Amino acid sequence: MDKTRSADIVTFTMNPAIDIFGATPTLFDDSKSRCEKALQQPGGGGINVARNICRMGGNAHVVYPAGGPNGELLEILLNDEGTPQTVIPIADHTRQNMAITELSSGKFYHFVFPGPRLTAAEQEACFNAIFAFNPPPRFVVLSGSLPHDVPLDFYGRITKKANQQGSRVILDTSGPALQNSLYQGAWLAKLNRKEFASLGFPEDDDVSSLARNMNTLLAKNAVEHLIVTLSRGGAVLVSNGQSPVFFKAPQVPIISHVGAGDGFVSALTYQLAQGADLTTATRYGVAAATVVIQTEGNQLTDFNKLTETVELIEEQTIHGNFT
């Protein structure tokens, strides 16, 4: 591995995939459902984030494990796009995920598979690859799920070491991987309502109560900044010592939710790397997610629409005593 490799933003995907998108007139449960079209793209949280950032003109590099034919295809697709990558070879096979739209009903089905198993040596090679950049990146984005047999504190270990080397860690994961990554010095965590509720908070709070509960988590030093996205669009940003901010997104037609969260993190991180303040960067994140859900595939590609949508995001300071 090249020890002189450098990047402003390093993203990490421990459980990448080939994402396959298709559409069928009717989804049958007892016979073949023939798809009319298909789209094949690299997938996985950190991979999507790096692809978006590079497309926006940012300096991002993705690190991920890969094996088998899907792993080879993943590397080829990213290379064809010009996305800088470090691939950790593994013996098991990289997964495929499927997203199918039933045209007759407009329903969208997203099938996500568990992924490969990594040996202890493969896991350690992944860990070491993140810290093979000189100088250390300004931002490390940890995004997506953990595959089988990977310790639940894996992201937490990365977060702690990255924080010690001066990188700002942005967390975008869920479940036990999330719970074991907090309190390790992460700069920011981006969660959805269900992920936030998994930490022991109500899922159906109003925005003001949500902000209060988010502040409770920050007061325990779980993370420095916290963003929770809302199912109806928008997000709440809470930072220590500052009033929470609610970002309301416009209502738009939804084609697919795949990649919306990654689009959010992409635009957020890119703006931060360009010197934007966190409020402005969050505004771009909300706008990016709004754009992605209106498009097929898992990528943020319409930057004219992104610029237009940023102007449509409503910002509201949430007042209240959160001490």
Active site (catalytic) residues: 262
Which residues touch 208 (CB under 8 Å, ≥6 apart)?
Answer: 318, 320
Tally of CB atoms within 10 A around 256: 18
Nearest Cα residue to 123 out of 61, 70, 65: 65
Q: What gap in Å lies between CA 268 and CA 43, rounded to an integer?
A: 19
Q: What gap in Å lies between CA 249 and CA 262, rounded to an integer?
A: 16
43 and 19 in contact (C-beta within 8 Å)?
A: yes
Identify whether 253 is preceded by a cis peptide bond (ω within 30 of 0). no
42 and 74 in contact (C-beta within 8 Å)?
A: yes
